Amino acid sequence: MIRTLAGRTFAGRAFAGRAWTEVDLSALRHNARALAGLAPQGVRIMAVVKADAYGHGDVRVAQTLYRCGVRDFAVATLEEGIRLRRHMARGRILVLGYTDPREAAALWRWRHAQALDAQKKRLHVHLALDTGMHRLGTDAMDGAALDALCSLKWLRVDGVFTHLCVADELTEQARAFTAAQAARFRAAVEMLRERGLHGFQTHAQATYGLMNYPEFSGDVARVGIGLYGVLSQQGQTRMQADLQPALALRARVAQVRRVAAGESVGYGRAYTARTDMAAAVVTAGYADGIPRSLSGSGAHVLIHGQRAPVIGRICMDQLLADVSGIVGVKQGDVVTLIGRDGSAEIRCEDFAGWCGTISNEILCRLGGRLGRIYLP
């Protein structure tokens, strides 16, 4: 029997997959309520479900959140938005990323935002304003550009938004820059209203904006990584939320190898046994989304509720772990790479730290060949 990340048994029988994720929908619902509880009175949350809901499954996640009261969803691409709309007749879906203007007909058909007025399709859009990140959007301080936006008769502006690019930091510099972004955003919103644009909602906060800079709230808060119960990396936030990780990543022991002292294992002979040891071959590798940078990082996995150091280089389909100190490891045993096994836990933030990246990247890159189990 497989113990899930919530301590439950899956379907009363063993799951036969080589590597899989478990998504706890009750944790997802809990996180949505917790983040909504942080928002000021009257501020709604917009669930960011781009990149297949950060590896959790966009359709199932969006459907679950809709049933618990979320009505606004954000994706990165038109294709993501269309897939979501095919499975959800209701709810507002915002495409945050670039869409070719030639796709205006598809945007209109599926009632998504973003296109150009020249296509002469009545479209509901949110205007992206660049307040200092210099990624997407119109310069918030460019009055002529704002004038031009206000003159586009085929666009119905339902929202205006920006992105706070250092909201995950609380240094003096980060606070000052975030405050400057918020001030530019407020000024641009006021300019738009002075030019006759009214009836739109505003949003600037993402998960970290909500938790670190609650004073810069708008009508909506776009929450992504926090919905899934983790933060981008270890660290403190000004406001605390009782977030529960919604995803576990598991694989199996394919074989246990006896390695004599002085022998090496894996590609490049990157690890040499100091003493006689047992090495478990684990059925997950970089083709499943495990970064090769995990190699030699001091990472470990959980087997039988105990920590087993990762040794050697991550392969395409496998990795190796030192199980010398764990009794009874055998073929078919479950290996936890992210999640809980008994009283032991590996958080996604820990895993990301070993790989030299952030939780967002780890979750988004979990491969399509992984199985996925949903826990109610």
- Which position among 228, 267, 286, 374 bears the catalytic label? 267
- β-bridge pairing 277-282 and 300-303: unpaired
* Core vs surface per residue 202-240: b (16+ CB within 10 A) or e: bbbbbbbbbbbbbebbbebbbbbbbbbbbbbeeeebeee
DSSP H or E segment with residue 184 = helix 172-194
- β-bridge pairing 72-75 and 271-272: unpaired
Residue 126 amino acid letter? H
- Taking Cα atoms as reference points, which of 139, 159, 181 lies closest to residue 46? 159
- Which position among 50, 54, 208, 286 bears the catalytic label? 50
Q: Tell me, yes or no, if 121 is annotated catalytic.
A: no
CA distance 142 to 115: 20
Contact call for residues 265 and 312 (beta carbons, < 8 A): yes
Residues facing 222 on adjacent strands: 46
Sequence-separated (6 or more) residues with CB below 8 Å from residue 239: 38, 210, 211, 212, 214
DSSP H or E segment with residue 79 = helix 78-87
Q: Tell me, yes or no, if 50 is annotated catalytic.
A: yes
DSSP H or E segment with residue 183 = helix 172-194
CA distance 34 to 256: 43
Catalytic residue numbers, as ranges = 50, 267
